[in-house]
A = this chain, B = another copy of it.
Amino acid sequence: MVELTSYVAAPLCGLVLRQLGADVVRVEPIGGAPDRSRMPRGRQGASLYWAGLNGGKRDLAVDLRRAEGRELVADLICAAGPEADPGGGVVISNNTRYEDLGFENLQARRSDLVHVLLTGTRDGRNAVDYLVQASTGFPTITGPGSGGTPVNSVVPAWDIAAGLYLAVGLLAAVHERRETRRGQQVEVALEDVAFAAAGAVGYLAEAQLYGIGRGPSGNEVYGTYGRDFVSSDGTRFMLVVLTLGHWRRLLEATELTDAIKAVEKAVQANLDDETQRYRYRAVISGLLETWFERRTWNEIDRILAPTGVLMSAYRTFNDLAADDAAVLRQNPLFQEIEQPGAGHYLAPGSPLVMGGRQFGPAPAPVVGADTDEVLTGLGIDPDRIARLRADGCVA
């Protein structure tokens, strides 16, 4: 399949498919796409961000401002049949600039074309993750809420979800093509992905039915009992009480059963119910806070591990890289790669494990690394490739 993509979401779609075994050719503007040098960067300047999203893909550098360049790319997209290559006639794009590479024109050349397109908003406006965060509500209930300022998340959650929705749509369309021999366009708007999530967790329904009264959440889990604490030796950790069993064993282990019984009597509530635990979380937290402040993280971990209560210490990215990345090394998700222009490091493969098979990471290509190979595969002879290169149409 062919990628005409930049930034996070659409390249992630290609990465997910590549990790499942697809041949993915990125079509790259000569010199690289606008985000090709985005920080953070490796020692020789290669973007670690770009490398992370484009591992294992092939790379064709071509000037799309030229009709001849676009014609080559259209040939590439429309080459080979689905019998020979289930990824043939499949294109992933977040680019609507060039009409001759749009769905209608490509479909006229190949009726079974699957065209997977990311847009910003449903009505066609541009958007990026931070904008979608602002327009869909979540930052206004995120963070400690000092001064009523919304807090954006550094996790590009909507980009990631959009990339995965594109991959779902791509697989469903290829599936359908096998039955019908017809292609189709698959569209996802970044903003719709965030709206769908806000609907899925009930926040849009809640606002329509009542309005949402609560303010920013801090680090408290909404609707159940969970928040962050600090041990006597300064380890900050997240604790979540997911089940009634957790709750009862947590009280036993911290010797708070009687105190909580007295609290229940005083406020006339049954804290076995998670909704009540959420309502009276300040009282619970006050008691637990004191218990945690008097114990080291090792003691806390030792005493609470048998309760099943969910706990995890906060880690920085530097913590994850400490001791030669010992934490990452333990996890078979990670393997060492040598990334041209960046160096040697542990990179994650796909989180999908299928039939016990793990799909490992691979270095990203350098711009135009596969130009000759891709063009030769299209039946273009060496003389014409040399001419295209001399003309600056490919690189």
Residues of A within 8 A of B (CB): 8, 12, 15-16, 20, 34, 37-40, 42-43, 47-53, 122-123, 126-128, 130-144, 146, 149-157, 160-162, 164-165, 167-169, 171-175, 178, 184-189, 192-193, 195-209, 211-212, 217, 219, 221-224, 226, 228, 236-238, 240, 242-244, 274-275, 278, 308, 310-321, 325, 328, 330-334, 339, 342-343, 345-356, 361
Contact = CB atoms under 8 A, between A and B. Distances in A.
Nearest to A148: B236
A263 B167 CA distance: 44
Nearest to A242: B128
Contacts of A20: 168, 172
A307 B316 CA distance: 38
A170 to B, nearest CB: 9
A202 B155 CA distance: 12
From DSSP, what is the main secondary structure of chain A's interface residues? mixed
A359 B253 CA distance: 49
Contact of A49 (B128, B223, B348): B223
A100 to B, nearest CB: 21
27 contacts: A12-B200, A20-B172, A34-B242, A49-B201, A52-B201, A126-B308, A130-B240, A131-B238, A134-B312, A134-B314, A135-B313, A135-B315, A136-B320, A138-B153, A144-B146, A153-B155, A157-B160, A162-B351, A184-B354, A187-B352, A187-B354, A189-B351, A198-B320, A199-B348, A204-B317, A208-B325, A212-B318
A16 to B, nearest CB: 6
Contacts of A186: 352-355
Nearest 5 CB-CB pairings of A with B: A48-B202, A164-B164, A157-B157, A184-B355, A207-B321
Contact of A160 (B197, B242, B275): B197
Contact of A195 (B219, B328, B355): B328
Nearest to A198: B317
Contacts of A349: 196
A299 B192 CA distance: 27
A97 B313 CA distance: 26
A172 B209 CA distance: 39
A57 to B, nearest CB: 13
A315 B174 CA distance: 37
A122 to B, nearest CB: 5
Contact of A202 (B34, B49, B138, B242): B49
A222 B185 contact: no
Given A137-B317, A317-B204, A274 B38 contact: yes
A204 B346 contact: yes
A219 B236 CA distance: 23
Contacts of A164: 161, 164-165, 167-168
A131 B310 contact: yes
Contact of A243 (B34, B149, B167, B275): B34
